[in-house]
Structure 1
Amino acid sequence: MGEFRPVPDVLAHLAGRWRVERTVRDLASGEEGRFEGVTEFGPLAEGGLLHEESGTFTWQGVARPAERTLRVLPGASPGTADVRFADGRPFHDLDLTSGRHVADHPCSADLYRGEFTVLDEDHWRTVWRVGGPAKDLVLITDYARVC
């Protein structure tokens, strides 16, 4: 992939509504699923953003409603974020000041490694590689700002 767009303030950049398209590939079985929906990054009373995602996940030909909620809080340094699950547990840090960031999240014996890239003002992507005894997955998510 080419140039990345530096983001001086990740919270300001993410705020708003995004169209989401995600592919989920199980590398062990070869199965592939797809999520399509929207993500809203809205303000939290205590600062930061509430990340609410909803849409439809299709796996093995069966479509089901899917949703998730994360909290995106101000990070340790200016312009960065601390991403947490809805219940407050830590998920990963996020620093897009260079336009690209890699973060790890251990989950039991599996490791989630995410690469975040900002393509331009209105498009960004995450690629999560999940490996370990329980999972062998690649999740690619493309976000497009909804005007």
Structure 2
Amino acid sequence: MGEFRPVPDVLTYLAGTWRVERSVRDLASGDVGEFSGRTLFSPLDGGGLLHHESGTFVWQGVPRPAERTLRFLPGSSPAEADVRFADGRFFHALDLTSGHHIADHPCAADLYRGEFTVLDADHWRTVWRVGGPAKDLVLTTDYARAN
């Protein structure tokens, strides 16, 4: 992987609207899906950001509307965030001090391992590898700041 861009304040960096392109590869079946949409990081009362993603997911040629909501709460330093699901359950920690972070999230019998890479002031990427008895997936998401 190339150079990483350190982020001294993760919530300031993420705030605003991002264009999102995601590929989903099922390594077991060979199927590939695509998501295209936007993510808005808007201020939460009490601090942090509400992450709302919406767009279209195409799987096996069938387009469907898709959305998700997460909460990015302040961490122990400005470069860190505590990422939670919409219902408040813990998802993972995020530390972009170096511009690169690996996070694990066990989900039932599956393990989600996320790699976060800040490419520059307006681009970042996540790669989630999901493995377990029922899943063998790679989800690669590219974010570009929307003007």
Measured against the shorter chain, the TM-score band is: over 0.9
1:107: which partner in 2?
Answer: 107
Cα deviation 1:31-71 (Å, max 9, x = unaligned): 00000000000000010000000000000000000000000
For 1:27, the equivalent position in structure 2 comes to: 27
- Residue 127 of structure 1 aligns with an amino acid whose one-letter code is V
Q: Which amino acid aligns with 1:73?
A: L
Per the alignment, residue 43 of structure 2 pairs with 43
State the identity as a percent: 80
Question: Shift of the alpha carbon at 1:76?
Answer: 2.3
Match of 1:134, SS state, is: coil
Residue 4 of structure 1 deviates from its aligned partner by: 0.5
**Which residues of structure 2 form unaligned runs of 5+?**
none
Moved over 6 A (4+): none
TM-score, scaled relative to structure 1: 0.99
**Residue 91 (str. 1) matches residue 91 (str. 2):** yes
**Counterpart residue type for residue 78 of structure 2:** P
Aligned length: 147
**1:124 match:** 124
Residues 10 and 78 in structure 2, CA contact (< 8 A), matched pair in contact too = no
1:56-71 alignment, distance < 5 Å = 56-71=56-71
Q: Please list the CA deviations of residues 91-124 of structure 1 after superposition, one character each: whole Å capped at 9, or x if unmatched.
A: 0000011010000000001000000000000000
1:77 aligns with 2:101: no
The residue aligned with 2:4 is 4
Q: Secondary structure at the match of 1:133?
A: coil
Distance in structure 1 (CA, Å) of the matches to 2:78 and 2:13:
13
Q: Could you tell me which residue of structure 2 aligns to residue 133 of structure 1?
A: 133
CA distance in 1, matches of 2:126, 2:84: 16
Aligned residues: CA RMSD: 0.6
| Unaligned stretches of 5+ residues in structure 1 | none
What is the alpha-carbon distance in structure 2 between the residues aligned to residue 126 and residue 21 of structure 1?
11
Q: How far 1:77 moved relative to its partner?
A: 2.8
Equivalent position amino acid for 1:54 in 2: S
| Distance in 2, Cα, partners of 1:133 & 1:109 | 7
Shift of 1:6: 0.3
Q: Hey, what does 2:15 align to over in structure 1?
A: 15
